[in-house]
Amino acid sequence: WGQLLELHQPLWLLLQVVGPQKDGLMVLTGPPKNPLLPPKPGEECISCAVVGAGGVLWKSRKGREIDSHDYVFRVNGAAIKGYEEDVGNRTDVYVHTSNSITTSKYLLEKYNYTGAPHDKYVMMPEGMRDFKWMIGLYKNETETETYLRPRTYYSGEFNETRFYVLHMDFLRYTRNRFLMSPTLNDESWPIVRPTNGAFMMFLALQLCDKVDAYGFITDDHKKYSNYYYERGANTPVIFYANHDLDMERDLWKTLHELKVINLYQGEP
């Protein structure tokens, strides 16, 4: 946070959209009128389940445990129908980019994924396409670059008061402080960024008193399929150049050992 202070910017973790304006520009303002995670009556601490899509969740039977938390975070292709016993049924916060919410709908249709789960949505702006997406979303129009209609991707549940945007400086701070991959220093640096799941994890760590993480990469990831919805198929994790999964795996392990998070690592 000290590094953010040097920027002399409002230290809002989340923003909300005002607009779009007549000139087509988007205005982002904060803090939001409605908190993303309002306190539960009678409870002093907020418990959160942060759910990725890792194959370690297949046959885990962690669904009921996940749903027992005060809030459940999900990201990207959060397929639920048919997998409730392992991954739960609730979604309180869905984290996404314009790319992840659109590609998930088509790539995961065969896994019963029909659209983004709800109640609240958090967008991570990673480029201009996300801001163009928000213009189409708020104007309820077809997006001019992709010719997609953003509102059709929110399962008919889009509401401006439940839509939040992660502050760009928070994304930068999280990367530079916790997720600074060595690959950012080589020729592939323009495409390197933390995973959406990593940003979701740090969002939860800022907002929740207790964070339990499920479906994130672990040391023994080779024992499992790439994703839980592949039902144990022989699909190993692919280490693409744009994400440093080795670094993230080591970080989740360290945070677990320090008791900052509780990381589900499969059954012994």
| Any domain includes 99 | yes
DSSP string, 234-264: S-PPP--TT--HHHHHHHHHHHHHTTSSEE-
**Contact assessment for residue 177 and residue 170, using Cβ atoms and an 8 Å cutoff:** no
The residue to which tokens 């993303």 are assigned: 36
Q: Show the tokens assigned to 247.
A: 């670094």
User: Nearest-CA neighbor of 57 among 165, 248, 213?
Assistant: 213
Where is 99: in which H helix or E strand?
Answer: helix 98-107
| Any domain includes 208 | yes
- DSSP lists the bridge partners of residue 230 as none
Using DSSP, state whether 116 is helix, strand or coil: coil
Q: How many domains does the chain have?
A: 1
Domain with 154, as residue range(s), is 12-33+46-263
Q: Please write the tens of the pLDDT for every residue from 19-53.
A: 555 555 556 666 677 889 988 887 789 999 999 99
The residue to which tokens 């789960």 are assigned: 117
| Any domain includes 82 | yes
**Is the pTM for the entire model greater than 0.95?**
no
Distances (CA, A) of 2 to 5, 15, 88, 241: 5, 20, 37, 31
| Any domain includes 242 | yes
What's the distance, CA 54 to chain centroid? 13
Mean pLDDT, range 240-249, rounded to an integer: 81
Angle between the N-to-C axes of helices 128-139 and 98-107, in degrees from 0 to 180, rounded to the nearest 10: 80
> Would you state the pLDDT for residue 5?
44
| Any domain includes 4 | no
- Rounded to whole angstroms, how far apart are CA atoms 267 and 104? 28
The residue to which tokens 């994400």 are assigned: 243
Q: Show the tokens assigned to 233.
A: 């198929």
Q: Please write the tens of the pLDDT for every residue from 197-244.
A: 999 999 999 999 999 999 999 998 889 999 999 998 888 877 766 778
Confidence of residue 146 (pLDDT cuts 50, 70, 90): confident
| Any domain includes 177 | yes
| Any domain includes 226 | yes
| Any domain includes 183 | yes
The residue to which tokens 């323009």 are assigned: 190
Confidence of residue 191 (pLDDT cuts 50, 70, 90): low
Instruction: Give the CA angle between residues 45, 47, 51 to the nearest 5°.
Output: 160
User: Nearest-CA neighbor of 116 among 168, 65, 149, 75?
Assistant: 75
Indicate which CATH number applies to the domain containing 101: 3.90.1480.20
